[in-house]
Amino acid sequence: MIRFNVFGTLVGVEWKHGEWKPYYLGNEGKRRDADFIIPTDTAESEIGPYLAILFHEEATPERNEVTRLA
């Protein structure tokens, strides 16, 4: 699983059954299905920038980056 910090929200993304499957990640190790879609033709290297565009309204002066964690 690829993990991102998206303006303070932890998001995980897996390639599963021919599509990107996004999850919201909890601090206790749990995850839940995310309510957005990542197009199947998005390259792995483009996921972070895609998430930045998708969630740009969540950015604050203190939380202004999308960072790949793993």
pLDDT, residue 29, reads 84
- Stretch 8-30: mean pLDDT: 95
Arithmetic mean of pLDDT over the chain: 96
**Pairing outcome for strands 19-25 and 31-33:** antiparallel
pLDDT for residue 53 is more than 90: yes
pLDDT for residue 40 is more than 80: yes
pLDDT for residue 43 is more than 90: yes
pLDDT, residue 28, reads 85
pLDDT for residue 70 is more than 80: no
